[in-house]
Amino acid sequence: MENRIKQAFAEGRAALGMFVMVPSPALVEMSGHAGFDFVILDTEHGAAGPEGLEHLVRAAETAGTTPIVRVTMNDRALILRALDAGALGVLVPHVLSVADAQAAVAACKYPPEGIRGLATTARAGRHGFRSVAEHIAWSNREILVAVQIEDRAAVPAAEAIAAVPGVDVLFVGPADLSISMGYPGQADHPAVQEAVTRIFKAAEAARREVGYFVRDAAGAKSLMARGVRFLTFSSTSVIGAAFRDVMKGVRDGA
């Protein structure tokens, strides 16, 4: 399976994804059948656990959407588990420094590009039905590394983080960023937006992509106009909004 996110970037278009907060293979499949380029299986704030992760990845593959895992922390073992399950990339939270970004990349890449441990007998290696050389080449080519810039301390290092070889996406975490800057829940505060703009510029200067949460189509189009090409909706928000709209429509018409 090829990475649809990297394909989109190569073609000069945005990749649209769905943060799957509920560990439901059916919901993952629905996201793929709806046409989303990727799903992010959330093990940080979502309920997905290591036991069910492989099933969620398999559901994504079945529906033709690229599976990405947001790990709980920047940990080599957690990243390895996600990739060995078949994820085509990871989203690493709370990356604060060049060293953090380098560690994330190293955990995702096989030598000489990184230090990922090799086990072609894992699911990602087709349980041993793929040669070592083929698996290493494919993995180092297709695995996407996205790092979250979501802390005040990380903003001054944005340019240096973006320049780390192997980093593909700088994902802005507006909620945590606003909290760390002293403006909880105020992602639109001028100071927060100034920090966001700096991250955008850092990514552009290093020829990296920017990732961002979106709530609706209008928000997605607005960010795309600013050059953002890694856009994610939230399954919980989308489903919750649909539930509210249905109930409102019924009650208003009663």
- What pLDDT is stored for residue 47 in this prediction? 84
The predicted model scores a pTM of: 0.95
Q: Which domains does the chain have, with CATH numbers?
A: 4-252 (3.20.20.60)
| pLDDT tens by residue, 92-121 | 999 999 999 999 999 999 999 999 999 888
- What pLDDT is stored for residue 254 in this prediction? 59
- What pLDDT is stored for residue 76 in this prediction? 97
Helix 50-62 / helix 25-33 crossing angle, nearest 10 deg? 30
pLDDT of 253 > 80? The answer is no
Exposed, middle or buried by CB within 10 Å (0-12, 13-18, 19+), for 11?
Answer: exposed
Diameter over CA atoms, the chain: 66
pLDDT of 40 > 80? The answer is yes
pLDDT of 182 > 80? The answer is yes
**Which of 45, 55, 94, 189 is flagged as catalytic?**
45
Do residues 181 and 173 make contact, with C-beta atoms less than 8 angstroms apart?
no
pLDDT of 133 > 90? The answer is yes
| pLDDT tens by residue, 201-241 | 999 999 999 999 999 999 999 999 999 999 999 999 999 99
Return the bridge partners of 211, or none. 171, 230
* Mean confidence (pLDDT) of the chain: 95
Q: Is 33 annotated in the active site?
A: no
Give mean pLDDT, residues 85-95.
97
Please confirm whether the linkage preceding 111 is cis (ω < 30° from 0): no
Share of the chain above pLDDT 90, in %: 89
